Amino acid sequence: MTVAIERSRERARAVALVRRVNFAVIVFLALYIAVGLLQPNYLEPAGAMNFLRRAAPLAILASGQLFVLISGGFDLSVGSLVTLTVIGGSMLTANDPSKTWETIAVLYAIGLFVGLINGAVVAYLKTPSIIATLGTLLSVNGAAMMWSGGSPRGYLPDNFRMFGRLVFHDVPVIGIFPLAVAVLVVVCLLAHWALHGAVFGRRVFAVGDNPRAAELAGVRVEFVRVGVFVISALSAVTAGVLLGGFGGVSVDVGRGLELQAIAACVVGGVQLLGGRGAVVGAVAGALTLTTLFTLLTLLGLPQPLKDTAQGIILIAAVAIGAWRRRRAV
């Protein structure tokens, strides 16, 4: 009889999981169609590609944040790291296109450093990641302000901005293909492989599920923790490079992005206590959020209220996720 019980429970669970991941995809598609009804060119290939281009930074951030969340932590410093990337990019290139590639290399190095610090503080100093990364947020923002002297220069050279702006034309079937979308695809594939197709990913799940058990089984928990924060930081730099191509250089570029990334993951089915999640979910969540914001803008929501909307969405996403988890068990 116990086998029958377990089998029916398992079925319920499988259905819930499928529903959860597909839920984000379904919600995304529903919202996107709503947007398309308001603004028909979203339904055309060119419009859709542009949408993906605009959604790419958030999706990349969410893919990186995913690792930290699954390991049971939070990385609240990614927004400030994006800001630092953009400001640093403009300061280092000083509008000279020949410096772009080395600048990008330096920016990744900075990102690596920040990720290592985050990871080390959480892993070796045993600080809760919320506090640690909030502190990093402060410091990185301060560093960005210091670097730019409070008034950032407004320009980035064109070849830096191409990651965000460049669009290949005359592509068969889809018409245009933005470089940003290519970057997004590459990042997603890498993330998917690292999380689901490599031993490292399983260690991340283990650490998030039960760090003590993982340690006793021989997992080097500290390395895993440092690893996930490095991944998150590198994704932030990538997103920053893309965002640098979108608009001007300002100190607000990254504000609130960490919460958006977390919200995206939660909408996509990631569990905030660790141990559960998938790349598909994170990306679906990011697309859903971007669609939602597009919808709100089309409906005429003023810019400041975007924060309010974000807050409501964040709470709603987590609340719904918690509710569905209670139902499934």
Partner 1 sequence: MEQAALALEMLDITKTFPGVQALDAVSFGCARGEVHALCGENGAGKSTLIKILGGVYRPDGGTIRLDGREVAFSHPIAARRAGVSIIYQELSLLPHRSVAENVFLGLEPTRFGVLDRRAMRDNASRLLRRLGSSIAPDTLASDLSIAHQQIVEIAKALAIEARILVMDEPTAALDRVEAARLLDLVRRLSAEGVTIVYISHRMSEIQAIADRVTVLKDGRTVMTAPLAEAPTDRLVRAMVGRDLADFYPPHASEPPGPAALAVRDGANRQLRGVSFELRAGEIVGVAGLEGSGKDALARALIGDEPFESGTMEIGGGTAKPGHPRAAIEAGLGRLSDDRKREGLLMQQSVRDNATLIERAFAPAFRSPIAGSMSPQSTDQRLIKLDVRAASFDQEAQFLSGGNQQKALIARWLARDPEILIFCEPTRGVDVAAKAAIYRIMRDLAKRGRAILMISSDLPEIIGVSDRILIMREGTLAGELPGGAAEEDVMAIAVAHDRVPDAMAS
Partner 2 sequence: MSDQQALVPPPAWRRPPAAPPLLLAGSIALYVGVALWTGETRMLETDGVIGLLQRMVGLGIVALGQTFAIIAGSIDLSVANLISVAAVLASFIMQGRADMMLVAVLIVLAISALVGVVNGAIISRLKVNPFIATLGVGLILQGLLSASFTDFAGSVPKEFQLVAYSTFGVVPYSVAALFALAGVASFVLWATRFGAHLYAVGGNAEGARLAGIRTDLVTIGAHVVCSLSAGLTGLYLASRLRSGAPWVGRDGVYDLESIAVVVIGGTLLAGGRGGVWGTLAGVLLFATLDAAFNMLGVSAYPKLVLRGAIVILAVAIYTFRTRGLTA
115 binds partner 2 (CB under 8 A): no
Name which of partner 1, partner 2, none residue 249 binds, using a CB cut-off of 5 to 8 Å depending on partner kind: none
Touching partner 2, residues 83-112 (CB under 8 A): none
> 28 with 62: CB under 8 angstroms?
no
289 binds partner 2 (CB under 8 A): no
Residue at 228: amino acid letter: V
Touching partner 1, residues 185-204 (CB under 8 A): 197-203
* Adjacent-strand bridge partners of 171: 175
Choose between 109 and 131: whose C-beta lies nearer to partner 2: 131
| CA 293 to mean position of chain CA atoms | 16
Residues with Cβ within 8 Å of 71's Cβ and at least 6 positions away in sequence, in order, are 204, 207, 208, 224, 225, 228, 274
Touching partner 1, residues 260-319 (CB under 8 A): 271, 275-276
* Binding map of partner 2 across residues 127-166, x = CB under 8 A, - = no contact: xxxxxx-xxxxxxxxxx-xx---x----------------
220 binds partner 2 (CB under 8 A): no
Handedness of CA 82, 71, 288, 25 (dihedral sign): positive
Q: Shortest distance, CB of residue 275 to partner 2, whole angstroms?
A: 9
Among the listed residues 123, 102, 67, 21, the one whose alpha carbon sits nearest the alpha carbon of residue 236: 67
In the numeric block, the tokens 């569905």 are attached to: 324
HSE, side-chain direction, 13 A CA sphere, residue 180: 27
220 binds partner 1 (CB under 8 A): yes
Q: Are strands 175-178 and 167-171 parallel, antiparallel or unpaired?
A: antiparallel
Name which of partner 1, partner 2, none residue 72 binds, using a CB cut-off of 5 to 8 Å depending on partner kind: partner 2
> 85 with 107: CB under 8 angstroms?
yes
Choose between 47 and 275: whose C-beta lies nearer to partner 1: 275
Phi, psi of 175 (to 5 degrees): 85, -75
Q: Shortest distance, CB of residue 94 to partner 1, whole angstroms?
A: 38
Choose between 10 and 96: whose C-beta lies nearer to partner 1: 10
> 53 with 180: CB under 8 angstroms?
yes
Q: Shortest distance, CB of residue 230 to partner 2, whole angstroms?
A: 15
Helix axes 78-93, 45-70, angle to 10 degrees: 120
218 binds partner 1 (CB under 8 A): yes
Tokens of residue 198, six digits: 């490599």
Residue in 1, 125, 146, 173 binding partner 1, rule: CB under 8 A: 1
Name which of partner 2, partner 1, none residue 121 binds, using a CB cut-off of 5 to 8 Å depending on partner kind: partner 2
* Adjacent-strand bridge partners of 167: 178
Q: Shortest distance, CB of residue 198 to partner 2, whole angstroms?
A: 20
In the numeric block, the tokens 């559960």 are attached to: 276
| CA 22 to mean position of chain CA atoms | 19
Among the listed residues 15, 160, 1, 30, the one whose alpha carbon sits nearest the alpha carbon of residue 92: 160
Choose between 178 and 201: whose C-beta lies nearer to partner 2: 201
308 binds partner 2 (CB under 8 A): yes
Residues that bind partner 1 (CB under 8 A): 1-3, 5-10, 12-13, 197-203, 205-206, 209-210, 212-220, 271, 275-276
Interface ranges with partner 2 (CB under 8 A) = 71-74, 121-122, 125-132, 134-143, 145-146, 150, 207-208, 211-212, 225, 256, 259, 262, 266, 272-274, 302, 304-312, 314-315, 318-319, 322-323, 326
